[in-house]
Structure 1
């Protein structure tokens, strides 16, 4: 059932996200060409070219911000329409496990945020390549050696580098899903009231954010700082780095579970669609 819900969410959202991603990459290619023309002093004094170049550059920068916002807002809109608007009456009467329904929204929302980040990186690479900033023919063996050193500087072991990359990937995934679940939980709380549901959802989000921040600070003061100071004198720097990564991943995972069950509880016990 979860896989079917995920496929449905992807089908419903890709019609918006894929054209937006393609448009961003196309604009980055266009900007790369324009930068290349400017670098080679072609049409450099043309007023039309300068205006077009300035507009294209502005569109590209705005596009980067817009596509990030779009990925996040689309996830919220999908959640609202399917579970909290008039469609919610149908969604919550269907024989669908509410936990899987929530997970499908979170998974797809997180997926699009991550893909959007990758699309931005690809667009920057396209901009660089088409503007001829890098002359790949001039690369020599020393450049390759320096890149290899950069990847193996962490303990001199490529396996450790891959492990750190795995940690970072988990942190990115859990961090993105954490933000989405925080908004979902605030909306679930806000829509448990009879009136001013959107306003109370916003207030709930602020309250949840403040409580999470306070809890993080308290845990840091009571447990994390003393434990870090104690272990820092007994463990190697590499072991400490592993411990910090694992601790952060565990903390984000616990927060995600808490947010998930807040949404699930309010949907099952307190949801008010009237």
Structure 2
């Protein structure tokens, strides 16, 4: 039985990480095609940074993702703290409203937002992309932050006030340090969701605001270039570095807390 479980676990890991390994390997493939391997080269990385159109879509996706993640985390932390202290009626209804965009199909939300912007004659661009991505990212960030805010001691505001803290000092010196890991997690989740979003971007991107997923999707008609594999390998490396940095930071904080106790 143990051998069967171990075999299934290994098969799952291979299934998950084989595409990632393939992207990295073929980013060095001198053949320029995914059908055969013909030696190693760095030419595709050189071509990547010389491809102005592709780099522009990368910058657009990064800008939209950073703005979306920052706004979603800021609004999410305020909503999470408010819900943690709220004891009135209708709390369940508010939670249902914040989670509703996660239930409604994203294509429906995209069509609805496009209709609203078209009726209001709002030009499509970076702003509409950010608003559309917020609809998807904000519920995720809020739910992550709410789970951490719910575990905070409800007497913290009174204790901080007794020590002479203003409301802003209570937030910056008490709440935010305690919620920092959740804020980082919410920001990274919102960033990833926005950066990889294609449904909302399809409806809400305008001229000059094409995102990287849309660029890659449109390249399927003419064939993906090896530069896409190079870009994918760099994004995988960047993601790995971020995960390691966050993990090391969290481990250091755990060790410091354990020593102080």
Instruction: Tell me which structure has the larger Cα radius of gyration.
Output: 1
TM-score in terms of structure 1 length: 0.29
Higher RCO by CA contacts (8 Å cutoff, separation 6 or greater): 2
TM-score in terms of structure 2 length: 0.30
